[in-house]
Amino acid sequence: MAAMTIAKLQKKKQQGEKIASLTAYDASFAKLMAEQGVDCILVGDSLGNVVQGRSSTVPVTITDMVYHTACVRRGAPDAFVMSDMPFMSYGTLDDTLKNATQLMQAGANMVKLEGGDWLIDSVKALTERGIPVCAHLGLLPQSVNVLGGYRVQGKEEAQALHLIEQAQQLEAAGAQLLVLECIPNSLGKRVTQALSIPTIGIGAGPDTDGQILVMHDMLGMNSDYLPKFAKNFLAGSDGIDAAFRRFTDEVKSGAFPALKHSYEG
């Protein structure tokens, strides 16, 4: 299978073809995802919650991310792999460049950073040096202590306009993908229409260019709590590989997410 690239993801947006993305943290699951047509694999700092048993992503280190990125790359050598820059690994420009380099050398195709206009200089510096960037707006899990919990963002019109403006600034700075998390479905649509780069939603409605879920959520492994935007694709599927295929097919057909998986507004 030919390797997925950012240019191919961009073409999917232009042609109106949905992008299917999942998180993975090891070689075995990454291999299965790639075989079942998942377009993009995110090595998420969500590993803090689902792998390490932490209450948030804050304790995850760059060493953790480098290790898991290398594992995923070995399992899926042709996949498009994004890696999260963990908490405070991009607080200064020097740290940003040093830590992003480690992730790229471990096998990432792109790094993902959470935040808005304060990241403009970092995005420019990374892309100028050949490190592709995925931005992340809306709910920012690394900032959960500032936000006061995991709450929907951008519900007020002023907040929505500010988020759209930040998205446009990040694109202008060189970001080539944008993850939108936990925002009203109407705002997900507005941001997607305002940008030429693909948007990947998680709880951002059906009108983003793609969808991403945490693997453990979409396999129903998070028994304590299933987010509103998630769905158990293993239920009714004949095995994990079939669940990955079903997720991919439902994203590409537009069957997922349904409005019940979205936030109105």
Binding-site residues for Mg(2+), in ranges, read: 45, 84, 114
Q: In DSSP terms, which residues pair with 104 in a beta bridge?
A: none
Other Cβ atoms within 10 Å of 12 Cβ, number = 18
Pick the closest to residue 210 from 184, 179, 241 (CA basis).
Answer: 179
- With contact defined as beta carbons under 8 Å apart, do 48 and 59 qualify? yes
- With contact defined as beta carbons under 8 Å apart, do 40 and 200 qualify? yes
> Can 156 be counted among the known catalytic residues?
no
Report d(CA 195, CA 8) in Å as an integer: 17
Report d(CA 84, CA 100) in Å as an integer: 9
| Entry field: residues in the chain | 265
Annotated binding-site residue numbers: 45-46, 84, 112, 114
Q: Which helix (H) or strand (E) holds 84?
A: strand 80-84
Report d(CA 95, CA 160) in Å as an integer: 30
Pick the closest to residue 173 from 197, 193, 157 (CA basis).
Answer: 197
Query: What per-residue string of b and e applies to 154-193 under the rule 16 or more CB within 10 Å gives b?
Result: beeeeebeebbebbebbbebbbbbbbbbbbbbbbbbbbbe
Q: Which of 35, 156, 165, 181 is catalytic?
A: 181
φ and ψ at 100, to 5 degrees? Answer: -65, -35
Burial class (CB in 10 A: 0-12, 13-18, 19+), 2: exposed
Positions annotated as catalytic residues are 181
